Amino acid sequence: MHALLTLLLQIGVILVAARSVGALCRVLRQPVVVGEMAAGILLGPSLLGWVAPELSAALFPPESLGHLGTVSQIGLLLFMFLVGVEFDPKLMRGRGHAALVTSHVSIIAPFFLGSILALYLYPRLSDDSVEFAGFALFMGAAMSVTAFPVLARILVERNLLRTKVGAVTIACAAVDDVTAWSILAVVIALVRSQAATIPLWITLLGTVVYVALMLTVVRRGLGWLERRYQTHGRLSQDVFATLLLGLLASAWITEYIGIHALFGAFCFGAVVPKDRGLVHELTAKLEDVTIVFLLPLFFANAGLRTSIGLIQGPEMWAFFGLIMLVAVAGKFGGSTLSARMTGLSWREAGALGILMNTRGLMELVILTIGLELGVISPALFAMMVLMALVTTAMTTPILQWLYPIELLRANEAEENQASDAFVAVLPVALPRSGPGLLRVAQALVPPGRASRTYALHLHPSTNKLVTDFDSHPAPDGEAALLPLLHAAKRHQVSDVRPMSFVSQSPSDDIVDVARFKGAELVVLGWHKPIVLDHVLGGVVGDVLEHATADVAVYIERNFEAWQRVLVPVHTLLHDHAALEAAGRIAVNTGAGITILRVLPPGAPEDPLPLPDALAREDVRDRVRVHEVRSAEPIDAVVDELRGGAYQLALLGVGPTWGLMPAFFGPRHERLVRETSVSLLVVRRSARAQDLARTTSVAAGKRSPAA
């Protein structure tokens, strides 16, 4: 087959495998990178080559692997450039002694243990073409690396970034990143000088000159590009091309002087100015192509060289066990111990340790370099790749065990208990629904109390490489919450706190956040579900069922100010919540309230107890009560709403208004389909309902209406 046809076919197969196994990992709550690494291994001799050798040989003929390798190297250069762009020296500053000591120990401990392991493995898994010093230093560097991008994603996804653990971990990982790459550069220089490819003095002198130029001339030149970016307000194609040229030149120089091209890519990324907009635009242009398209090729390229079949017999597996032990003891043990000794609790120190133990893609990059240089043998490469996979996969479950999200939120709850503010949680799925939810939340604040609003955006897990540490929540979440935050600013609503994190189960997370934040109200928006078509189904239904706070579901259908609000009342059991909400709305917004009392034909008349808010002097004049008799209460409400005098209908949750999921019989969500006013459905929490029953009886005795 023609070389291009083969390459296109290979890329297609690799992308399908990477996306499929990555998606599976997402379901298993694992970082997507674990799936992509595993997919690469599965396409290699460990599975495809073993199960279907003919297919493997046809798909990945040896003569074609050069092209695949070249494309994957370009991807790796871009990846390392982006890792450098993400590297911000600010992260290493001002974190105190704990971060400094922990970061250094988290490097030296695994490095030291890796070197001790080298004493044992060198006579068994290496040969005399490799000097011991190069082998030992490489093993040390490979043991001490941390996958900064994966670690950063886990911290963001678990909302740990602003915690003490998160801050120290990020600082340590940043230090680790730079140190590991510097050590690797030394190892590469050492090995290449031994192979007499490039004299050591040229490499050393060249490296010193290169680093000096990067920190002075190049950095200054890039500062000029930054100013140009700030003047134009966007990343022009010329500036983008200049940055790419700089990346290529830097990679070319470091490859030429004998420290790998990847080092040059990383260094150039590291000196790129950290202007937030520039970094954001630059990564936006490169990130998806690199992560979705090019990196899987690197994983496959590494996987094609990973032959787990080389790990044969109990002795080889014992070597692998030893490697795992040293890797975990060095990184997890060393980081945990030092963090504990510098003042973190055992739980926090353990969380930091397991995060630092994440090796992911960075390990794979280092191992591939080691294999290419001949520093590590194919069997040792396979063992180390497995170690990288296992240490990355173990991070999330062990972190959850050590530092459960529930515990984190419980800690947050403690800080909320001191406040007397009325706390509302507003889960925002669609950005445009945010202002409406805020309007409802503000309207439902009990008179005389201050409010605190948590604007919550939940999003699915992503495989982003660059994390914007300056913004909280993360950029995606921020964009979704932006209209709500603007509305809060416009209407001078104080104490609105944005929250954003990854969620596998939105309804559970909404319920949990509401509980741990001590919320008295959850306001949900509604938009037509894809599968179910009843109004209160899906996530909304789950939250209604399980939330311990009051729940309001807002179906926004017009944006007019609420002049008059209709409150249909049929059974007090379900509709009392609507009456109470109407009282708050009347007080807070000045809207008029019309209570449509629907009685069955022939039913005796009895007084309608009104909540205190509706009986207030300043509100009483705006409250009207109409009484109608009808066997079909919903007909009466639809007729009333069609009159066009209302901007909002306020309903209790109950079978009367046909809003609950109806599995048997016709769905009669007629209020939604046959009217055009906005609807607000309220459900009181179980505890509040009990209280309401008691107070409504008392109120009924006190103030009969109509």
> By the criterion CB under 8 A, which residues form the site for other proteins?
97-98, 100-101, 104-105, 108-109, 111-112, 115-116, 118-119, 121-130, 132-133, 135-137, 140, 310, 312, 316, 334, 337-338, 341-342, 377-380
Rounded distance between C-alpha atoms, residue 513 and residue 621, angstroms: 39
CB of 249 to other proteins, least distance (A): 25
Nearer to other proteins, 381 or 469 (CB): 381
Residue partners of 262: CB distance under 8 A and separation at least 6: 76, 77, 80, 251, 254, 365, 369
Taking the complex as a whole, how short is the minimal distance between the CB of residue 528 and other proteins, in angstroms?
Answer: 58
Counting DSSP H helices and E strands in the chain, the numbers are 32, 10
306, 384 in Cβ contact below 8 A? no
To the nearest whole angstrom, how small is the minimum distance from the Cβ of residue 375 to other proteins? 12
C-alpha to C-alpha distance for 395 and 152, rounded to whole angstroms: 12
CA 235 to chain centre: 26
Task: Please state the closest distance from residue 67 (CB atom) to other proteins, in A.
Answer: 17
d(CA 294, CA 76): 8
Distance of CA 688 to the CA centre of its chain: 34
The rounded distance, in Å, linking the Cα atoms of 683 and 523 is 10
Q: Closest distance between other proteins and the C-beta of residue 47, in Å?
A: 17
Q: Residues 115, 136: contact at Cβ < 8 Å?
A: yes
Give residue for tokens 């030291």: 112
State how far the Cα of 656 lies from the Cα of 632, in Å rounded to an integer: 9
**Structural contact between residues 98 and 342, judged by C-beta atoms closer than 8 angstroms:** yes
Of residues 136 and 596, the one with the C-beta less far from other proteins:
136
CB of 110 to other proteins, least distance (A): 10
**Nearest approach, Cβ of residue 294 and other proteins (Å):** 26
Residue 344 is given by DSSP the state -
> Which residues fall within 8 angstroms of residue 127, CB to CB, at 6 or more apart?
377
**Which is nearer to other proteins, 13 or 101 (by Cβ)?**
101
Nearer to other proteins, 273 or 374 (CB): 374
Q: In the complex with other proteins, which residue's Cβ is closer, 25 or 388?
A: 388
Burial of 210 (0-12, 13-18, 19+ CB in 10 A): buried
Smallest distance, Å, CB 52 to other proteins?
15
Identity of the residue, 127 or 495, whose beta carbon is nearer to other proteins in the bound complex:
127
Q: What 8-state DSSP symbol labels residue 609?
A: B
Backbone angles phi, psi at 423, to 5 degrees: -100, 130
Closest separation in Å from C-beta 197 to other proteins: 12
Q: Where are the alpha helices (DSSP H) in 195-343?
A: 200-213, 219-232, 237-257, 261-271, 276-288, 295-305, 313-328, 334-341
Residue with tokens 């807070």: 588
Which CB, 124 or 701, lies closer to other proteins? 124
Question: Is the peptide bond preceding residue 446 cis, with omega within 30 degrees of 0?
Answer: no
* Distance from C-alpha of 373 to C-alpha of 255, rounded to nearest angstrom: 13
**Nearest distance in Å: CB 304, other proteins:** 14
Q: How far is the CB of 360 from other proteins (least distance, A)?
A: 24
Complex with other proteins: residue 248 or 310, whichever CB lies closer: 310
Position of tokens 């807002």? 554
Phi and psi at 553, nearest 5°, equal -115, 125
